A and B are shown apart, each in its own frame.
Chain A
Amino acid sequence: MNEITAEAPSEPIQDLPRRLEGYREMLLANLVMAGEIPAPTFQEQARVEFVKQRFVECGLEQVSSDAAGNGLGLLRGRTGSRAILLHAHADTPFPETLPHTLNVEPGRVVGPGVADNALGVAALITLPTLLEHLDIRLDNDLVFMASVRSLGRGNLEGLRAFLVTTQLPILAGISIEGVPLGRMDYVSQATVGAEITCRVDPDHPVEAGAIPALNQVLTQLRAMELPAESHTRLVLGSVAGGTSYKSPALSATLRFQLRGDADPVVEGITEQIVAICDAVARSTGVRVAFDVIARTRAGGLPDDHPLVVRTRRILEALQIEPLPPTHSSAASVFLERQIPSITLGVSFGAHRGEPSEYVEIPPMLKGMAQLIGVLKAVDGGCCDRH
Chain B
Amino acid sequence: MTDIDQWLETNTYHHGQFWDLKRLIETKESKGLTVSLCIPTLNEEKTIGKEVVILKSELVDRYPLLDEIAVIDSGSTDRTLEVARSFGADTYLSAEILPEWGTRRGKGENLWKAIYQLRGDIIVYVDADIKNIHPRFVYGLVAPLVYRPEVHYVKAFYDRPLADATGIRPSGGGRVTEILVRPLFSLFFPELTALIQPLSGEYAVRREVLERIPFPIGYGVETSHLIDVYFEWGLEAFAQTDLDRRVHRHQPTRDLGKMSFGILHTFLTRLRARGILPGLPELTPILRQFQFHDGKYEQVIHELREEERPPMIEVPEYRDRRGLAPEQD
Contacts and interface: CB of A to CB of B under 8 A. Distances in A.
A364 interface: no
A168 interface: no
A160 B166 CA distance: 39
B57 A36 contact: no
Interface in B84-113: 86-88
B256 interface: no
Interface string A28-64: 1110110010000000000000000000010000000
Interface stretch (B28-36, B46-54, B152-160, B187-195): B46-54
A29 B247 contact: no
Contacts of A33: 54, 58, 134
Given A99-B247, A104-B53, A106-B49, A29 B83 contact: no
B197 to A, nearest CB: 21
B53 A106 contact: no
Given A26-B62, A32-B53, A99 B46 contact: no
Contacts of A29: 53-54, 56-58
A47 to B, nearest CB: 14
Given A28-B53, A29-B54, A32-B53, A105 B46 contact: yes
A230 interface: no
Interface footprint category on A:
10 to 19
A103 interface: yes
B53 A103 contact: no
A28 B49 CA distance: 10
B7 to A, nearest CB: 33
Chain B binding site: helix, strand, loop or mixed by DSSP? helix
Interface string A219-235: 00000000000000000
Nearest to A26: B57
B236 interface: no
Interface in B71-89: 79, 82-83, 86-88
A26 B50 contact: no
B27 interface: no
Nearest to B19: A53
Contact of B49 (A30, A101, A104): A104
B131 interface: yes
B62 A57 contact: yes
B79 A106 contact: yes
B87 A25 contact: yes
Contacts of A30: 57
A36 B132 CA distance: 8
Nearest to A100: B132
A29, A33, A57, A99: which has the most chain B beta carbons within 10 Å? A29
Interface in A86-129: 99, 101-106
Interface in B119-155: 131-132, 134
A187 B247 CA distance: 43
Interface in B151-194: 163, 167-168
A130 to B, nearest CB: 13
Given A106-B82, A106-B83, 4 more contacts: A33-B54, A33-B134, A103-B49, A104-B53
Interface of A: 25-26, 28-30, 32-33, 36, 57, 99, 101-106
